[in-house]
Amino acid sequence: MGKNQRKSDMTLDEKVMIFVVMASEMFKKKSSAVFKQYGLTFSHYNVLKHLVSCEKGRDTVGNVSKRMLVTGANVTGLAKRMEKAGLIERRNDSKDERLTMLHITALGLKSLEAIREVQERHVTEYLKACSSEQKEEVLAVLKQIVRRGKQLAKVGG
Residue scoring higher pLDDT (135 or 95): 135
Q: Note whether residue 1 is domain-resident.
A: no
Mean per-residue pLDDT for 128-157? Answer: 90
Q: What is the CATH number of the domain that holds 112?
A: 1.10.10.10
Does residue 130 form part of some domain? yes
Q: What is the pLDDT of residues 41-95, one digit of tens each?
A: 999 999 999 999 999 999 999 999 988 888 888 899 999 999 999 999 999 888 8
| Confidence tier at 110 by pLDDT (50, 70, 90) | very high
Is 91 within 8 Å of 103 (Cβ atoms)? yes
Q: What is the pLDDT of residue 5?
A: 52
> What pLDDT was estimated at residue 2?
53
One-letter-per-residue 3-state SS of 61-115:
HHHHHHHHCCCHHHHHHHHHHHHHCCCEEEEECCCCCCCEEEEECHHHHHHHHHH
Total domains in the chain come to 1
Q: Is residue 56 part of a domain?
A: yes
Residues written for the chain: 157
Is 148 inside a domain boundary?
Answer: yes
153 pLDDT above the threshold of 60 = yes
| 50 belongs to a structural domain | yes
Q: Domain containing 94: what range?
A: 11-155
What average pLDDT score do residues 102-131 get?
A: 94
Cβ atoms 38, 114 nearer than 8 A: yes
Q: Kindly report the pTM of this predicted structure.
A: 0.82
Would residue 78 count as lying in a domain?
yes
Asked if residue 107 is part of any domain, the answer here is yes
Question: Within a domain: residue 6?
Answer: no
